[in-house]
Chain A
């Protein structure tokens, strides 16, 4: 197996060629992935074409019903909102981490990483309590007189987005921090010397130079959000259902494996498509 892969890629870029030695060592892992991931996924795909009757029926159902199309649009909408908000909030944090004195940035980084290590379910339940109509946020806003009746912050797309942004933030902050830290500070000084104001140096210098980090982080968040399950299931409502919830429902409760397989395959196809986009983009960046 190892040899067939290395010969298959022998004509590839130099970076890949160097892998052919170590490839022998990763062969066990590859076999494991093939057996326990690729084969089951293929079986699922086959089922989606065979159950309950052979044909494209499952895909027709999936794309032909407004209910399922709703689920698709919810999924993409939430993934988009979460990605956009994470980038906007994450960028200043990453910037701060990159330019703060080491002592402070290490402390901030520890806070971010610690939150990542806290149990996902516990964090999501905490949001449930914070966001509900009788929760701390609504009660505070009401006692301050800012709102008259509680805001609907949970059991809808708002709740899902808030909970997911919080979970996804580290995935943009960490790669972006590295990219910003590697930007030569003298470039910004040069911009200032040439008469650029702060806004111009941000838009025309800092932002383009951080773009690889933003793209990498944003794509990662988008892809992770598409298949996210726990947070939408707990903070979402029935009408804000996302794809992963639908798949779980079809497989576990309704036991419609053909349709569940079709939904899973659509999700996988979209994810892989985005992943290749990311690879191509990053490869192009590294090539320069």
Chain B
């Protein structure tokens, strides 16, 4: 499970009564600053435009989605999930097909569009470094895996998800276009070399705390969290060298009570304007290709979509097929 902020706004599950269903929608995400932005930009705007009450719930929990769909009592209408989960859940029949007559996908980044999901936002895993705490900052994944050049603790993402395995392989010299299928033996062998020096972060807030306090002066971060940390005055250096992209997706669990409204909400959330405003607030990249033109230049410069030249895309389809097997091995390796 992921440790999430402490808020849990009760989700009201209205009975499938026509009138109520048209007026309410339950949106679920991961909490923290990201969901705050989703609420203020997407939910509040949508509420005003469509006269719909959008209730916030969270955190996203794949066990709960399965339970809801199995029991036929689905109280979440739109959920923000990890990209590889969204693809997998679509295959497993846990999701509603999206209605692309309502959602305009012509302007959406095709990397993050499937029959069952569209991107919520996308982000890059990058190398972050607290410049005040060390003499030199790691620039490449190979640097981050080099205990001689960069001694001491470093932090990595705890959960099994696209990212760390790719970083290990890139650090070991695998060319970016030869990452898939993932050579797990090689990745874990590389990870073994620094395992005792890894502190795992399980939430974005924790990653920021670790870097700001120099508990781990460098590590593997979500780019948006580094942007936010810089704004608070921490002297952060971000290396975009081979930044690894992954996306969150918006999905509608099968049997959602307010399906039609959910489609409208997704259309609103992925519109050029909504995506642009969300990106400005969070430092994550818009998945609407028309959004960057709407954003101030200085903000655009900090976003992952400006770093496309050195970008490495994770293969969400590959992850969807193998996520259970990789996760089982990942957690077993961690616990050893």
Using a CB–CB cutoff of 8 Å, the interface residues on chain A facing chain B are 65-67, 70-71, 121, 128-129, 132-135, 155, 233-234, 237-239, 241, 245, 248-249, 251-255, 257
Residues of B within 8 A of A252 (CB): 1-2, 61-64
Q: Nearest B residue to A254 by beta-carbon distance?
A: B327
- Given the known interface contacts A134-B215, A233-B3, A248-B1, the answer about A65 and B199 at a Cβ–Cβ threshold of 8 Å is no
Q: Nearest A residue to B332 by beta-carbon distance?
A: A67
Residues of A within 8 A of B332 (CB): 65, 67
Beyond known contacts A239-B334, A248-B1: 10 more, CB 8 A cutoff:
A67-B331, A67-B336, A128-B209, A132-B213, A135-B215, A238-B158, A239-B335, A241-B334, A252-B1, A254-B327
> B44 near A: Cβ within 8 Å?
no
- Given the known interface contacts A65-B332, A70-B336, A133-B215, the answer about A253 and B1 at a Cβ–Cβ threshold of 8 Å is yes
Residues of B within 8 A of A71 (CB): 335
Taking the closest CB of chain A, its distance from the CB of B210, in whole angstroms, is 8
Q: Nearest B residue to A245 by beta-carbon distance?
A: B1
12 contacts between A and B (CB under 8 A): A66-B336, A70-B335, A129-B213, A135-B213, A155-B200, A238-B158, A238-B200, A239-B335, A249-B1, A252-B1, A255-B62, A257-B63
Q: In whole angstroms, what is the CA distance A68 to B160 when docked?
A: 17
Question: Does the CB pair A237–B199 fall under 8 Å?
Answer: yes
> B34 near A: Cβ within 8 Å?
no
Write out, one digit per residue, whether chain B residues 1-14 have a CB within 8 A of any chain A CB (1) or not (0).
Answer: 11100100000000
Q: Nearest A residue to B70 by beta-carbon distance?
A: A257
Q: In whole angstroms, what is the CA distance A257 to B64 when docked?
A: 11
Q: In whole angstroms, what is the CA distance A233 to B203 when docked?
A: 11
Residues of B within 8 A of A249 (CB): 1, 331
Using a CB–CB cutoff of 8 Å, the interface residues on chain B facing chain A are 1-3, 6, 61-64, 66, 153, 158-160, 199-200, 202, 209, 213-215, 324, 327-328, 331-332, 334-336
Q: Nearest A residue to B152 by beta-carbon distance?
A: A133
Q: Nearest B residue to A259 by beta-carbon distance?
A: B328
Question: Does the CB pair B327–A253 fall under 8 Å?
Answer: yes
Q: In whole angstroms, what is the CA distance A108 to B67 when docked?
A: 47
B202 CB contact (under 8 Å) in A135, A233, A251: A233
Q: Nearest A residue to B217 by beta-carbon distance?
A: A134
Q: In whole angstroms, what is the CA distance A133 to B133 when docked?
A: 13
Taking the closest CB of chain B, its distance from the CB of A158, in whole angstroms, is 14
Taking the closest CB of chain B, its distance from the CB of A86, in whole angstroms, is 25
Q: List the 9 shortest-distance A-B pairs measured between CB atoms, nearest first.
A: A238-B334, A248-B1, A67-B332, A252-B63, A132-B215, A252-B1, A251-B63, A67-B335, A241-B335
